[in-house]
Amino acid sequence: MKPSTLFWTTLAALTISASAQTSPAPKRPRIVGVAHIALWTDNLDAARKFYGQQLGYEEAFKLDRPEGGLVFKVNDHQYVEVFPGWKGPEQLILAHVAFETDNAQQLRDYLASNTVRVPETAAKGLDGNLSFMIKDPDGHDVEFVQYLPGSLHSRNFGKFLPATRVSERLIHVGTTVSDRAAYDHLYRDILGFREFWHGGMTDDQISWVDMRVPDGTDWYEYMLNVKNPSARTLGVMNHMALGVPDVQTGYKTVQSRGLTPAEGPKIGRDGKWQLNLYDANLTRTELMEPKPVQKPCCSPMIN
């Protein structure tokens, strides 16, 4: 064999060997919906009254945290977590938001391959589920959780689901967003969320952007144009929404349980009936009907 032929044969073999040893880039696993919202409080009794008595959710089990806390079960895959120990206005009431995935480790690896800062591995918590946390562009904690067989949550599927629940579905969570482009890069370009509506207080303004999870119907809402917010404003912006078939019925239900909203039901700029409720720490919970009853402002609503 000529030296030149030997050289090229050896180079080809090395190239094939190196290619065989290169792992394919991880693919994004499914992200199926909102798993929970976690909040801080300085009054667990008030949280029990609002989320338990007035919204009708049952405390499912104890949190795997040193300080304890409350877990109110919306359905088998969605929860509201409330942590004690809020230190006052210098601490954000919102602790984190969480989304459910069907493969937490693969999602962690996928995010790492897209230059998102992630922990070294997805870890199994004391509750038996696999999860990890990242920071969004504004520093909010965002968790991704995979419910594993035999975990605390999985063992209690079908339990703690009383008929008193004002809603059986947490349909979206929202947080303040200072830089839409940065959030679009994370949620749209990397995580695969899809915008299905945007709107504002006027038709030429964009104040809210609704981004649906890639493999479900829940969404994450950008709350834009928030400058130097007060604690009250943060409670309005960092919020959750519960889907209800009829807001008027929900309104009568919470009233019968001793909750008097500051204002009654109204049709929002998205054309949907909604009712704003606030817990003792001023975090907003929307009751929202699933479909518009009039034309949404600002942009078409994509199904």
Each residue's pLDDT tens digit, 17-40: 444 456 688 999 999 999 999 999
Q: Is there a common fold for 31-155 and 170-288?
A: yes
Residue at 289: amino acid letter:
E
β-pair partners for 221: 174, 210
Q: What pLDDT sits at residue 152?
A: 94
Q: Is it the case that residue 81 has pLDDT exceeding 90?
A: yes
68 pLDDT band, cuts 50/70/90, is: confident
Q: What pLDDT sits at residue 6?
A: 45
Q: What is the mean pLDDT of residues 50-72?
A: 88
What is the C-alpha separation between 210 and 190, in angstroms, rounded?
16
Q: What pLDDT sits at residue 109?
A: 98
The CA distances from residue 4 to 7, 9, 16, 251, 287, in Å, are 5, 9, 19, 83, 75
Each residue's pLDDT tens digit, 113-135: 999 999 999 999 989 999 999 99
Q: What pLDDT sits at residue 8?
A: 46
DSSP states along 90-144 = TS-SEEEEEEEES-HHHHHHHHHHTT----SS-EE-TTS-EEEEEE-TTS-EEEE
Q: What pLDDT sits at residue 274?
A: 98
Q: What is the mean pLDDT of residues 149-172?
A: 97
Q: Is it the case that residue 3 has pLDDT exceeding 60?
A: no
Q: Is it the case that residue 266 has pLDDT exceeding 80?
A: yes
Q: What pLDDT sits at residue 186?
A: 98
CATH architecture of 31-155: Roll (3.10)
Q: Is it the case that residue 11 has pLDDT exceeding 70?
A: no
Residue at 124: amino acid letter:
K
Q: Is it the case that residue 299 has pLDDT exceeding 60?
A: yes
Q: What pLDDT sits at residue 13?
A: 45
Each residue's pLDDT tens digit, 192-231: 999 999 999 999 999 999 999 999 999 999 999 999 888 8
What is the C-alpha separation between 297 and 95, in angstroms, rounded?
32
Mean residue pLDDT across the chain: 92
Q: Where are the domains of the chain?
A: 31-155, 170-288
- What percentage of residues in the chain have a pLDDT greater than 90? 83
Q: Is it the case that residue 71 has pLDDT exceeding 80?
A: yes
Lowest mean pLDDT among 43-52, 61-70, 283-292: 61-70
Q: Is it the case that residue 107 has pLDDT exceeding 60?
A: yes
Domain 170-288 has CATH 3.10.180.10: yes
Q: Name 90's Cβ contacts closer than 8 Å, sequence gap at least 6.
A: none
